Each structure stands twice: as structure tokens, then as C-alpha cells.
Structure 1
């Protein structure tokens, strides 16, 4: 009688391959779900970063409000802070850095406005405009469904209430204090 040589039978190899295939399929499915979750989380983190940048810039503009009315292109006076008839927010702020020490004003007139579903921050090169003066537009946030502004004045304080609706977070509301002496 011959001694049996050690090794695997074909049936044992097929069973081992089938078990490995099932485990690999399960592992791949789990990995795919983890990667999809990571991508969704990265997209939400990016969207939150954009929303925080908008809030930060708007809060800086409001907190640096200065009592400097301006004149529009037709020479009509506009207050330092106003909600325009189109729903936009216009204000004069003093947080206009000048790191290169160029000869220019230390205050700036800006407008926050939604155009075509995009929130823009427009900044004029001069305070008192003349016909033809165009602002520099900075795109702040896309897919904006709603942007409303209200200026609230109470006995104790004054603030700008902003309601913003944009995906993926939906409606948010900010109450941004402004200096009381303006």
C-alpha cells in the first residue's frame, strides 16, 4: 500500500476559494461604504467651511461698521448701514486693511447681495461714487435659496439679523451686533 502524499484535494481548494471570495466581497462592500461616507463627510466639511467664511466676513463687516454715510452714483445720500430695496445689505466698515501702506481710505463700502442664486460681497473702490463706478464682486456662496436681512434696533443694542438658506445645511440665522454709536 502506498503512503498518502500530503496536500489538498481539488474539493478542498474550491471550498477555500469560495470562502475567500465571500469574505473578499464582504470586505469590499464595507470598504466601499467607508469610502462613500468619507466623501460625504469631506463634502459637508467643505460646505461648512464655506458657510463659516461667509459668516466670518459678514460678522467682521458688521462689527467694524463706521458712521460714515456715502453718496450713490446720482449724489443721493445713503446711511452707513442700510437694507436696500432689493433686499441686499450695504454698509461702510473700517476693517479695510492696508498692509502695503498704499494711499487710500481706511474705510470701505460693501454690499452683500444674491444674484442668480450666488451670494456676492461687492466692494466699491471709493466711498462717494460717481456715475460709472463699479464694485469689485467677490463670490462668497453658491446655491443660495434665500438671503434676507433686517436691521434691528433695541433699547440696549443694535444688530443685523441675517437669514440664509443654502444646501446642505438649510436655513441658518445669524444675529450680528453692530457698534452702538453708529
Structure 2
């Protein structure tokens, strides 16, 4: 009768336990690697969404302020409103408002190519408010540009080149030369956005000098 070697009888219990332990370690490593990749994708997606919102705000402000014009308006009660205002008594949370040119009219609606707009901070969201008509109209629904905003402050550069925290001009047609918006999103550092106002064809009085040859 032929003797059967112990190696032909299968794996021992210890060998099976060692194999299971190795498979368990490989499985845990695979799950951790998969989870790490998923977490990275989620973090990248969230960051891209935040950047998209920030760019949306910057693009909206840049497009509006670059086309700002000196056009005073009248509110619903018929009261005169300067061309550029800091805040608005009729709009809750308004930061500033003005009239811009270049309002596209693709459907040939019976309106002007000018648009009255305002940027407001309401319930932790920075929004763009617009009016269907320049004078005597109520504002339309606001478009949210940035959420989770902890604070928003505005500085204005006047024709003398000075930055100021308020905008009040005796001339109803006066526009600031630039606007700096300081925005703080919850959990993040303050971001400062700087924009020129209007076509920048105005020459500040302080810079007008007579050359020696004149």
C-alpha cells in the first residue's frame, strides 16, 4: 500500500488562516485606496464648484461695472436716484446700484438697451438684482451669484484717486473710477475683487496739469 504524503492532503489550518489574513489585508488596502480616490474626487468637485461661483460673481461684476453709465433714475415713488448709489433704501441689503449699457435685446422687446442693476447681500447670499425698466419699475427676481457669504464690504475710488468706504457725491451723475469688493465666505479668507467703472474716459481734475511748453 502506497503511503500518501502529508503535502498531498491539502492545506493546514494555519496556512488557511494566513491566506485569509493576507486576503483581508489586500481587501482593506483596496477599500482604503478606493475611498481615498472617491474623497479626492468629491473635494476636487466641490472646489471647482466654488471656483465657478467665484468666477461667476467676478464676471458679472466686471461686465456690469465696465458698462456703467451716468444715468440717474427714478424709483417707484418718483423720487430721483443718483447714477451710482451706495445701498438703496428701497432694496434690503443693497451694497451698490447703477445703470449699465449694453443690455442685449434678442427678442426685440419694447425697452431700452440700458438696465438698472444692484448687488445685494441677503440671507448669506450675494445676489444681482435688476429692473425691467429704468424708471418707476419694481425690481425683478434676484439671481444668486455666491452663497455662504459671511460679510461683504465695498470701497470706492473717486476722481482724486482716493479710496473711501462710502459713496456720496453732490453730482447725481458722478461715478466712482473703481470699486473694490471685499468678500468673506464662511470658513475661508477674505477675497478682494477690484473692478474699473465705466469706459474710463473721464480725466480726474487733479491730474490735469499744464506742461511748461504750454
- TM-score where L is the length of structure 2: 0.75
The gaps in structure 2 that reach 5 residues or longer are 162-175, 203-214
Structure 1 runs of 4+ off > 4 angstroms?
154-157
Q: How many residues align?
A: 180
Distance 2:140 2:107 in 1: 21
Conserved? CA contact 1:161–1:173, under 8 Å: yes
Question: 1:90: which partner in 2?
Answer: 97
2:131 paired with 1:128? no
2:127 paired with 1:110? no
Cα deviation code 1:55-102 (max 9, x no counterpart): 110111101112211112232322222212665110101131112222
Cα deviation code 1:21-56 (max 9, x no counterpart): 112112212321221222122112111111110111
Question: 1:14: which partner in 2?
Answer: 17
Q: Which SS does the other structure have where 2:142 is aligned?
A: strand
Question: 1:24: which partner in 2?
Answer: 27
Question: 1:176: which partner in 2?
Answer: 195
The gaps in structure 1 that reach 5 residues or longer are none
- Which structure has the larger Rg over C-alpha atoms? 2
Root mean square deviation, CA, Å = 2.2
Conserved? CA contact 2:94–2:118, under 8 Å: no
- TM-score where L is the length of structure 1: 0.87
Shift of residue 154 of structure 1? 4.3
